[in-house]
Amino acid sequence: MDNKRTQHKRVMAILDIQQATPRWSNYLSKLVDEGYIVDLVTLKTPNSPLPKKILKSESFSHFETCLTTLYGQNRIKNKIHFFIQRFTTSPTQYVSLYDKLAIRSLNRKAKQLLNRFHYEFLITSSSPFYTHIIASQIVNKYDLIWIADYRDLWSQNHVSQTNDSLKESFERSILANASACITVSQGCRRDLRNVYQGPIHVLYNGFEKMGHAKDIPKSDKYRILYTGQIYRKYQQIDLLLEYLSDVDESISEKFIFEFVGNSSKFISKNFSKQFKSIPKNVYLSGELDHLETIEQQEKADFLLFLAWNSQTDRGVVPTKIYEYIGSGTPILSFGEIQEGECGRLLAKSRNFLRIQNVKQLQDFFHDCLTKRLEIEARNSSFVEKFKFNSQIKTLDAILTDYTTEKESVSF
């Protein structure tokens, strides 16, 4: 890529870098590597790591806002605020006390920078949605190309139980001055159309590096790893938990199910509610940082993916699915419904086994123990497309197109 073309382009990113990792910690770093100047306006809370520990590039200008006042006693104030706002018919009901303080603080910091430097681009990322609210307040005054990123949809989020017309109307008003939106999947792009009629681009959640493709393990003991969140209402975890609670000893001795991250808390809580104790072949490893999690994914014999359990979730593509396919470790996709974008992604990536019920899970155990398991080799040429180094070309092309368009209009 020609760095001369981008060397004078300055980007302001307003986002919660802790929530936006690994997506934006990687993409912003890659933009710096490609010649952009990137200034980051983010939050620093008492318990969060400094952005410089998350971001990989030393070329950033770090501008942090410490929001210590949002914690402790203000948690109670925030709950009271939300309770009162529930009875209003104003869009302010969607903006918490926490959000208001964050907007005020980050807005002030952003304007200080905007008055010092000339920026071509403003990038915000939801969640939290208040980053888009900040952008809507400053974009016109400073003549910025605003790109609104949706890692998670807001009014159109798949976990929403009902349509909220007031929330949708509020979101449309916020996005009215956005130059474009970007999101993480074709399904999210389709749903985002309900609140934004401008250009919507897809920038996938990728991964940093390709792990070595593995042969099917032929050991006497197998480690099956799950990392990240579990959503009980949307993933078929209960069937798996029930089976593991009563699994034959010949299986429990040979197959270890390990849960890392927030999923370990979920498993611990739900096993204690439903069953007497956690099975001895279920390991709960707690929180690991992101790099340690990636390392464990590459070391596991199999990676467990819990498929979404309804057609309405067909556009949901979690970040870990890209890390999974990049790791080179064979993937077990568990759940009755194996369709949607995750299903298509796994099918094209290969190196995975579809398990839709307990019978198929039992067959998997048997095939492992008898050394008869067969899984297609990873489609490396397809998977390679989702590396951050590949995806950054998409982001650069989006920014370049809008710069060219703006310059031609100015001319």
* Residue 61 and residue 172 in one domain: yes
* Residue 305 and residue 202 in one domain: no
Q: Which domain holds residue 122?
A: 3-206+387-410
Residue 351: left (phi > 0), alpha (psi -120 to 50), or beta?
A: left
Amino acid residing at 93: Q
* Residue 189 and residue 241 in one domain: no
* Residue 367 and residue 397 in one domain: no
CATH code: domain of residue 229: 3.40.50.2000
Q: Which pLDDT band holds residue 200 (cuts at 50, 70, 90)?
A: very high
* Residue 134 and residue 184 in one domain: yes
211 in any annotated domain: no
105 in any annotated domain: yes
Residue 56 pLDDT more than 60? no
Residue 204 pLDDT more than 70? yes
* Residue 42 and residue 164 in one domain: yes
* Residue 133 and residue 255 in one domain: no
**Number of domains comprising the chain:** 2
DSSP assignment of 261-296 equals THHHHHHHHHHHHHSSS--TTEEEEE---HHHHHHH
The rounded distance, in Å, linking the Cα atoms of 63 and 224 is: 41
Q: What is the pLDDT of residue 148?
A: 96
* Residue 227 and residue 187 in one domain: no
319 in any annotated domain: yes
214 in any annotated domain: no
Q: What is the pLDDT of residue 92?
A: 65
305 in any annotated domain: yes
217 in any annotated domain: no
Q: pLDDT per residue over 322-343, tens digit each?
A: 999 999 999 999 887 667 788 8
Cis peptide before 128 (omega within 30 of 0): yes
Q: What is the pLDDT of residue 267?
A: 77
Using alpha carbons, list the distances in angstroms from residue 78 to 100, 108, 130, 263. 10, 21, 15, 27
Residue 68 pLDDT more than 50? no
Residues 170 and 195 sit within 8 Å (Cβ to Cβ):
no
* Residue 8 and residue 95 in one domain: yes
Residue 29 pLDDT more than 80? yes
394 in any annotated domain: yes
Q: pLDDT per residue over 353-396, tens digit each?
A: 999 888 899 999 999 888 888 888 999 999 999 999 999 999 99
* Residue 115 and residue 236 in one domain: no
Q: pLDDT per residue over 97-119, tens digit each?
A: 778 888 888 888 899 889 988 99
* Residue 37 and residue 13 in one domain: yes
Residues 229 and 263 sit within 8 Å (Cβ to Cβ):
yes
* Residue 374 and residue 400 in one domain: no
The rounded distance, in Å, linking the Cα atoms of 15 and 126 is: 8
DSSP β-bridge partners for residue 146: 122
35 in any annotated domain: yes
